[in-house]
Structure 1
């Protein structure tokens, strides 16, 4: 089973409250207020569109958001109010130099191999206008290194049982785990995942090598500095000229 399909959607939806979504969307609205030109801003891995639907409806990014998603179930359940295309991060279905910006939440960009991460960022750069902005959210490498093993079990509001175990390898920067969701009807969804978490210096080098320069680094949605206690790593990067 593909981890980023029905399993991921059904196991994450209960934790994505409207209050959390609103705070994240507010952050993104501020981050792209002065994005160059009038081109689209792409929600990379938009899922069911919780950010895209809000941002495209009103505010500074109204009518400028386009979603990208590869999972058919997520697309079938998506919220209304924004255009979306089905496609792969590794081969973006956007013409060269047409996007004013792009964003990705919850380590969406880094669920592939290191070589594929380079390719994904080059694809984003190809599709983006010069001076365009890339904003993404992930988890600080140091936070995972401090607590490399994780395991939990929880009953979800719909009666399903969610179980997960993971192990972070500091040497490779990969968090490898298995998630299992036992639905109320007895059906079991289970799959492994491997997500890459880069130290900030390594992440900066990756962005520089693909045409971006870091504009800011935040440790949370209020724009606070990144510290050893930060649970979030939010990066804003700009596509350089030439």
Structure 2
């Protein structure tokens, strides 16, 4: 079965508390506070809309957020309060220079090949107006390289048992893993994944080669610098003019 869809939703939602979502949405609100309207801002890979629903309700992006998600189940389960469409990051269904901003959270960009990453960044650049804001969050390469092997087993609140093993290869930048979710009734959901992570210097090169200029790099929601203890890599960039 596909890693994204029911398995992904049921195994990640228990860890995404309202408090966590609120802090992440607050960060995004600050990141886009100076982005003038009325052009919309798109949540790329919006999932069930935990960020988009909040941002579209109040704050600087109120009434301006659109969700884009490929997985039909995630869209069916999405929170109310924002428009969303089904679409692929590799072929964004927006006109050229029609958006004021875009963001992608929770390593949404990691699930593609190197060539697809370049194509996706070019697609984001295409749909953003000159000076448009682009923000994405992922896991720092150095954090994964320092602890390349991971395994855990946990019982979720609904009684399901979640098991996962993964191994990060710094030479390829690939985190390969397998996740299994077993319900109390014995139903088993299982899938493998392969996620691509880049060192910051490589991200900068990718962005600059696809039409962006990096504006900031943060190592967490507090806005501090990226360092060896950082749990996040958050990059803010702008679509270059011309």
Runs of 4+ residues deviating >4 angstroms: none
What is the 5 A alignment of 1:156-195?
156-195=156-195
Aligned residue number for residue 110 of structure 1: 110
Secondary structure in 1 matching 2:106: coil
Q: Distance in 2 between matches of 1:169 and 1:213?
A: 29
* Residues 1-242 of structure 1 aligned to structure 2 (within 5 Å): 1-242=1-242
SS in 2 for 1:125: helix
Displacement after TM superposition at 1:36 (Å): 3.9
- Listed as ranges, the gaps of 5+ residues in structure 2 are none
Deviations 1:44-87 (CA, angstroms, capped at 9, x unpaired): 00000000000001111100100000111111110000000100
Aligned length: 242
What's the RMSD between the two structures over aligned residues?
A: 0.7
Q: TM-score scaled to structure 2, two decimals?
A: 0.99
Residue 187 of structure 1: how far off its partner (Å): 1.2
Contact kept, 8 Å, 1:149 with 1:166, in 2: the verdict is yes
Query: C-alpha distance in 2, partners of 1:200/1:230?
Result: 13
The gaps in structure 1 that reach 5 residues or longer are none
Contact kept? 1:36, 1:131, Cα under 8 Å:
no
Describe the SS at the equivalent of 1:51.
helix
